[in-house]
């Protein structure tokens, strides 16, 4: 990867004018882990076909067809699936099902920030387990007696995954329900579906927001034992998923090939991004997701790079994390976007070396 290679990539990039301020222009959005590629064309056809007078009717509150489709893909019974308005909805339904006031909720630190918010709303007691190196389940977590343990695998915002045998040990040693959030599992080398079959206290959550490129339609899934799903169904809003989302989800799940092709491209560019960063001497966590998180030891450095990237038209996410310090998280965009990002970052760090 030469600097000239980066530069020509920027010049070819749609809507990007080098040297100009992005005020009033489009930003290159690498901050919320969306998929840079469009969903399957089947999704557009399915939604268009659903735009008819049947919209006056309420949707199927159980989303039976989505459940059946998902059950086939994940190799479970449709009674083991609950459909939600994004996986955020699934997480909220589960905590309201399992956790009462003053019950304990365990989570790693850092992890997806919504877990803590939901636990606070539920007036639960939060047990935090620091990930000092970011990649191993903390030993103290194995003896947690919490009603609900949240584990994002791959984790956010680090992107790192936890070893499967460690996750199994966690499921078997805790007293409560283990929610494994698999929002990014399609970008990872493995997932917890097999483990779910072996351990009956595991609930998995999945989403169409990331690998299926459908963050805007809001569709999440819980996979759990029928008894848990039955209880969760009592807690959810009756019509938590709308008819157009249902139609889009069935079409997306009908085209797993499309999703997998996009995932392969994202994984290739994830590797490209990591190599580019390491050539600039920037440390990043091992990522199994569609983003890469970098860590900066020098105080204020990440914040300053974040601001300069923004001025140059690139949105990334800045974190100041307990235990891990100052970090930037970069979503893997289209190849041209990654190339351009690396070029701009290089200029920020080393000036114009042309
Ligand atoms: C770990 C994790 N879980 C869940 C979500 C939310 O996904 P959804 O769009 O399905 O609500 C995110 C979104 O960024 C996430 O990072």
pLDDT of residue 354: 56
pLDDT at 249: 98
Q: Compute φ and ψ for 218, nearest 5 degrees.
A: 65, 85
What is d(CA 259, CA 344) in angstroms, rounded to the nearest whole number? Answer: 30
Ligand 1, from 209, 221, 291: best to mutate by most atoms within 8 Å of Cβ? Answer: 209
Predicted confidence at residue 239, as pLDDT, reads 98
Mean pLDDT check: name the lowest of 7-21, 41-55, 131-145: 7-21
What pLDDT score was predicted for residue 21?
44
Atom of ligand 1 nearest to the CA of 89: 11
Cα 223 from Cα 217, distance rounded (Å): 20
State the distance from the centre of ligand 1 to the C-alpha of 211, rounded, in angstroms.
11
Q: What is the pTM of this model?
A: 0.93
Q: What is the mean pLDDT of residues 168-177?
A: 98
Taking the centre of ligand 1 as the mean of its atom positions, its distance from the CA of residue 89, in whole angstroms, is 10
Pocket probe mutation, ligand 1, options 30, 92, 179, 207, max atoms within 8 Å of Cβ: 207
**Between vectors from CA 338 to CA 1 and to CA 188, what angle results, nearest 5°?**
105
Per-residue pLDDT, 134: 65
Q: What is the whole-number distance in angstroms between the Cα of residue 349 and the centre of ligand 1?
A: 31
Among 112, 219, 221, 245, residue to substitute to test ligand 1 (most atoms within 8 Å of Cβ): 112
Distance 88 CA to ligand 1 centre (A): 6
CA–CA distance, 16 with 342 (Å, rounded to integer): 14
Q: How high is the mean pLDDT of the chain? A: 93
Helices (H) and strands (E) counted in the chain, each on its own, are 12, 13
Q: Which residues line ligand 1 (CB under 6 A)?
A: 33, 86-88, 112, 152, 156, 181, 183, 207, 209, 215, 220
Which CATH fold would you assign to the domain 41-254?
3.40.640
Domain ranges of the chain: 3-30+257-350, 41-254
Mind listing the pLDDT tens digit for each residue in 182-226? 999 999 999 999 999 999 999 999 999 999 999 999 999 999 999
CATH 3.90.1150.10 is held by the domain 3-30+257-350: yes
């Amino acid at each position: 990867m030469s600097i000239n290679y980066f530069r020509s990539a920027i010049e070819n990039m749609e809507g990007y004018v080098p040297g100009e301020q992005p005020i009033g222009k489009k930003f290159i959005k690498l901050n919320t882990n969306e998929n840079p590629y469009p969903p399957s064309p089947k999704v557009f056809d399915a939604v268009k076909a659903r735009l008819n007078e049947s919209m006056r009717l309420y949707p199927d509150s159980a989303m039976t067809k989505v459940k059946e489709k998902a059950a086939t893909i994940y190799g479970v019974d449709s009674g083991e699936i609950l459909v939600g308005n994004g996986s955020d909805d699934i997480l909220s339904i589960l905590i309201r099902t399992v956790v009462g006031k003053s019950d304990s909720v365990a989570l790693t630190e850092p992890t997806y920030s919504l877990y803590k918010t939901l636990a606070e709303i539920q007036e639960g007691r939060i047990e935090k387990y620091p990930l000092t190196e970011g990649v191993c389940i903390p030993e103290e977590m194995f003896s947690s007696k919490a009603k609900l343990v949240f584990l994002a695998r791959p984790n956010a915002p680090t992107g790192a995954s936890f070893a499967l045998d460690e996750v199994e040990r966690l499921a078997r040693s805790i007293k409560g329900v283990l929610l494994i959030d698999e929002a990014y599992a399609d970008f990872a080398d493995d997932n917890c579906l097999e483990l779910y079959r072996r351990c009956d206290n595991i609930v998995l959550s999945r989403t169409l927001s990331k690998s299926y490129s459908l963050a805007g339609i809001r569709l999440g899934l819980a996979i759990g034992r029928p008894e848990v799903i039955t209880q969760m169904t009592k807690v959810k809003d009756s019509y938590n998923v709308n008819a157009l989302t249902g139609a889009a989800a069935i079409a997306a799940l009908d085209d797993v090939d499309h999703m997998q092709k996009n995932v392969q491209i994202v994984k290739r560019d994830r590797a490209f991004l990591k190599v580019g960063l390491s050539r600039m001497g920037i440390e990043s966590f091992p990522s199994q997701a569609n983003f890469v998180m970098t860590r900066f030891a020098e105080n204020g450095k990440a914040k300053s790079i974040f601001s300069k990237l923004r001025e140059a038209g690139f949105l990334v996410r800045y974190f100041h994390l307990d235990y891990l310090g100052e970090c930037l998280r970069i979503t893997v965009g289209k190849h041209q976007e990654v190339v351009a990002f690396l070029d701009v970052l290089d200029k920020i760090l080393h000036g114009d070396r042309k």
